[in-house]
């Protein structure tokens, strides 16, 4: 599926907004993965969402405090206002299709935030190992794969005291060791090349 640039702009607005998800749990449903998550606005919990993994829509429940008790609601004023500020966009399945006009809704907004949460969680888990980008692919080592091994010294090509980092760079010419770059750059490279 190919989206117009307005979709990218809207997605960026969502990811940089005051909305977030926490306590995201995934499970296997009948038609794929399901999700459970708490939803927040300005770090204040405003409800929860459930995707039962049965092919239907998200079940979104909002609440607000009324006289010290949670009052459940179907809508949230802050969410509704924010969604109306997102740009309209077009998408198409392939080059032959005519573009279809579309508009962000609350379900798409929360799904984008869930996807980002899961991506960051996966990224942090993978960065506990040595991660390398080489030939537009991300890969890790099976043996000696903790980042502290990058400084371990070995005997290599007739020389003693050669770090594992230097060996990697020699064997994989032009590679980038994600553990050696800033977190933002590592995340950008991981996002770009881990799906290749």
For residue range 146-184, list pLDDT tens digits in order.
999 999 999 999 999 999 999 999 999 999 999 999 999
**Over the range 40-66, which residues count as b (16 or more CB within 10 Å of their CB) and which as e?**
bbeeeebbbbebbbeeeebebebeeee
Q: Within this chain, do residues 99 and 6 fall inside the same structural domain, yes or no? A: yes
The domain total for the chain is: 2
| Residues 27/36, Cβ–Cβ less than 8 Å | yes
Mean pLDDT, range 122-140, rounded to an integer: 94
Q: Are residues 105 and 166 in the same domain?
A: no
145 and 117, same domain (yes or no)? no
| 14 and 106 co-located in one domain | yes
At 13 the pLDDT is: 97
Q: Quick check: 187 pLDDT over 90?
A: yes
pLDDT-derived band at 73, boundaries 50, 70, 90: confident
What residues form DSSP beta bridges with 64? 71
Encode pLDDT of 47-60 as tens digits. Answer: 999 998 888 889 99
Euclidean distance between CA atoms 121 and 126, whole angstroms = 9
- Gap between the Cα atoms of 99 and 92, Å rounded: 5
Within 10 Å of residue 76's Cβ, how many Cβ atoms?
A: 21
- H or E segment at 33? strand 32-41
pLDDT at residue 42 is higher than 70? yes
Looking at the structure, do residues 113 and 151 belong to the same domain, yes or no? Answer: no
Asked if 163 and 113 sit in the same domain, the reply is no
Clarify whether residues 14 and 111 are in a common domain. yes
Domain hosting residue 107, numbered range? 2-125
Confidence band for 65, pLDDT divided at 50, 70 and 90: confident
Confidence of residue 128 (pLDDT cuts 50, 70, 90): very high
Domain boundary among 125, 157, 176: 125
From the centroid of its chain, how far is CA 154? 36
Listed residues 107, 125, 143: the one ending a domain? 125
The pairing of beta strand 19-29 with beta strand 32-41: antiparallel
* Stretch (H or E) spanning 63: strand 59-66
How far apart, in whole angstroms, are the C-alpha atoms of residue 40 and residue 179?
31
Cβ(92)–Cβ(1) below 8 Å: yes
Q: What percent of the chain has pLDDT over 90?
A: 74
Strand 153-156 to strand 159-163: parallel, antiparallel, or no bridges (unpaired)? antiparallel
The residue out of 102, 125, 148 marking a domain boundary is 125
Identify whether residues 92 and 177 lie together within a single domain: no
Question: How much is the pLDDT for 196?
Answer: 59
Residues 121 and 132 in one domain: no
């Amino acid at each position: 599926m190919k989206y117009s640039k307005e979709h990218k702009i809207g997605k960026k607005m969502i990811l940089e907004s005051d909305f977030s998800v926490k306590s995201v749990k995934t499970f296997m449903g009948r038609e794929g993965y399901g999700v459970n998550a708490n939803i927040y606005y300005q770090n204040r919990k405003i409800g929860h969402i459930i995707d039962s993994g049965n092919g239907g829509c998200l079940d979104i429940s909002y609440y607000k405090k009324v006289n010290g008790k949670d009052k459940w609601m179907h809508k949230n004023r802050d969410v509704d206002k924010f969604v109306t500020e997102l740009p309209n966009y077009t998408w198409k399945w392939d080059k032959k299709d005519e573009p279809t006009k579309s508009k962000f809704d609350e379900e798409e907004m929360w799904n984008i935030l869930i996807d980002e949460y899961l991506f960051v969680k996966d990224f942090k888990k993978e960065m506990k190992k040595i991660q390398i980008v080489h030939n537009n692919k991300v890969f890790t080592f099976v043996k000696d794969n903790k980042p502290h091994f990058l400084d371990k010294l070995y005997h290599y090509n007739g020389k003693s005291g050669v770090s594992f980092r230097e060996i990697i760079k020699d064997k994989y010419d032009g590679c980038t060791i994600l553990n050696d770059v800033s977190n933002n750059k590592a995340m950008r490279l991981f996002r770009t090349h881990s799906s290749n």
